[in-house]
């Protein structure tokens, strides 16, 4: 299960919006600043998340937590790992 995907993030954002506001979102719009010689804004628009989307989000979270409970964590280092203070001790445990 990949919880880092943009789709999982969008589902999480939708759920948190609903939880905080008590309303369904009208859609989701992600705006990104593209830092080039001539900066521009990039827009990505998504429809409101359905019950099916949220069920998939919670199924992925549940599977992740179940794996952690069994000690089956899948270590997948990301770009931020090079700057992390735990890289040399805590994460080495997961490498085997």
pLDDT in tens, 22-57: 999 999 888 999 999 999 999 999 899 999 999 999
Rounded (5°) CA angle 41-43-11: 135
List Cβ neighbours of 79 (8 Å cut-off, separation of 6 or more): none
Total-model pTM: 0.64
In a domain, 1, yes or no: no
Our count of domains for the chain comes to 1
Domain that holds residue 41: 6-95
Residues of the chain above pLDDT 90, percent: 44
In a domain, 84, yes or no: yes
CA contacts within 13 A on the Cβ side of 31: 3
In a domain, 12, yes or no: yes
């Amino acid at each position: 299960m990949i919880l880092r995907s943009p789709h999982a993030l969008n589902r999480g954002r939708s759920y948190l919006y609903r939880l905080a506001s008590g309303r369904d979102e009208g859609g989701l719009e992600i705006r990104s600043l593209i830092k080039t010689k001539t900066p521009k804004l990039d827009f990505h628009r998504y429809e409101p998340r359905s019950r099916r989307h949220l069920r998939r989000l919670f199924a992925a979270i549940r599977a992740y937590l179940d794996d952690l409970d069994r000690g089956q964590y899948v270590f997948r280092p990301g770009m931020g790992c090079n700057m992390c203070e735990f890289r040399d001790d805590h994460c080495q445990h997961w490498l085997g």
